[in-house]
């Protein structure tokens, strides 16, 4: 029994060495077939509510040609007609050349909650007989629809006497939406509110619009104020739009 134990102890370093060597070879070996020509840098983007801007959800997907042959993107197809794909006209990529495309969703037309969209990227390389595909996923936490104001703030550069106009759009996404403007006011004397009107957006949501106009050269420097919109809605009795007016640069004492 003692001799058997001595033999096993003597063989243990050899067995450990052989196992380590086999494991190292396995970790280093990657078959060529496992490397796809189209290498996506990211396969999923998840935008939270705080990431959304002006009712748009936009994700960027980068990739590069990981093969030794030219690669051609033949199609980029989203799973839903509500998704817009934006990509440069160049669809042919040399070995190791990088590219990207953008996936955009107009959240104004989507239901609130987590929404998921997939995009199928089809491509060809001369070394492969058939068209190949990669899929990416775009997840968006669409916020509960209420009332939005665009733009969120007004910035004017009033450097001449010519009239400058910007439009404020208030959209009511609630199913019972019946918001009406009772009054719009601001403390700046040069500012006037014009052309109030009621419309609908592309998805049938009611909108109230009005133009904010400034006439004449603004005082030098910056002026800040707030446009206050009074409504008939108890949930949104007042809507405030910050205002910044940039006039000509102030002259220094030496001028």
Q: What is the CATH number of the domain that holds 194?
A: 2.60.40.10
The reported pLDDT for the residue numbered 52 is 63
* Listed residues 94, 127, 142: the one ending a domain: 142
151 shares a domain with 135: no
Residues 154 and 125 both lie in one domain: no
Q: Do 109 and 166 fall into the same domain? A: no
For range 59-71, the mean pLDDT: 94
Three-state SS for the chain is CHHHHHHHHHHHHHHHHHHHHHHHHHHHCCCHHHCCCEEECCCEEEECHHHCECCEEEEEEEEEECCCCCEEEEEEEECCCCEEEEECCCCEECCCCEEEEEEEEEHHHCCCEEEEEEEEEEEECCCCCCCEEEEEEEEEEECCCCEEEECCCEEEECCCCCCEEEEEEEEECCCCCCCCEEEEECCCCCEEEEEEEEEECCCCCEEEEEEEEECCCCCCCEEEEEEEEEECCCCCCEEEEEEEEECCCCCCCCC
User: Is 10 inside a domain boundary?
Assistant: no
User: pLDDT band at residue 50, thresholds of 50, 70 and 90?
Assistant: low
Q: How many domains does the chain have?
A: 2
138 with 151, same domain: the answer is no
Mean residue pLDDT across the chain? 81
With 80 as the cut, is the pLDDT of residue 157 above it?
yes
Do 184 and 132 have their domain in common?
Answer: no
Does residue 16 fall inside a structural domain? no
User: What's the pLDDT at 123?
Assistant: 95
Give 158's pLDDT tier (boundaries 50, 70, 90): confident
Above 50 in pLDDT, residue 23?
no
What is the average per-residue pLDDT within 56-84? 92
The predicted structure's pLDDT at residue 81: 83
The pLDDT tens digits for 136-156 are 999 998 877 788 888 888 999
Share of the chain above pLDDT 90, in %: 42
Q: In which domain, by residue range, is 180 found?
A: 147-246
pLDDT score, position 169: 94
Domain finish residue from 142, 177, 205? 142
Which of 103, 125, 142 delimits the end of a domain?
142
């Amino acid at each position: 029994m003692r001799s058997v134990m001595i033999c096993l102890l003597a063989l243990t370093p050899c067995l450990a060495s052989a196992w380590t060597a086999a494991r190292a070879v396995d970790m280093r070996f990657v078959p060529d077939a496992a490397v796809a020509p189209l290498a996506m840098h990211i396969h999923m983007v998840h935008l939270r509510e705080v990431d959304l801007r002006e009712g748009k959800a936009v994700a960027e997907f980068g990739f590069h040609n990981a093969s030794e042959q030219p690669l051609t993107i033949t199609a980029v197809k989203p799973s839903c007609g509500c998704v817009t794909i934006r990509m440069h006209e160049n669809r042919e990529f040399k070995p190791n050349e990088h590219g990207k495309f953008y996936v955009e969703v107009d959240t104004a037309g989507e239901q609130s909650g987590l929404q998921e969209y997939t995009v199928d990227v089809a491509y060809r390389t001369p070394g492969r007989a058939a068209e190949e595909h990669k899929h990416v996923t775009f997840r968006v936490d669409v916020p509960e629809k209420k009332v939005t104001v665009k733009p969120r703030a007004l910035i004017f550069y009033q450097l001449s006497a010519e009239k400058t106009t910007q439009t404020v759009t208030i959209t009511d996404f609630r199913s019972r939406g019946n918001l009406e403007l009772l009054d719009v006011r601001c403390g700046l004397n040069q500012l006037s509110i014009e052309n109030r009107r009621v419309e609908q957006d592309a998805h049938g949501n009611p909108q109230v619009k009005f133009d904010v106009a400034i006439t004449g050269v603004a005082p030098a420097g910056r002026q800040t104020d707030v446009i206050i919109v009074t409504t008939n809605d108890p949930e949104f009795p007042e809507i405030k739009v910050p205002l910044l007016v940039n006039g000509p640069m102030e002259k220094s004492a030496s001028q």
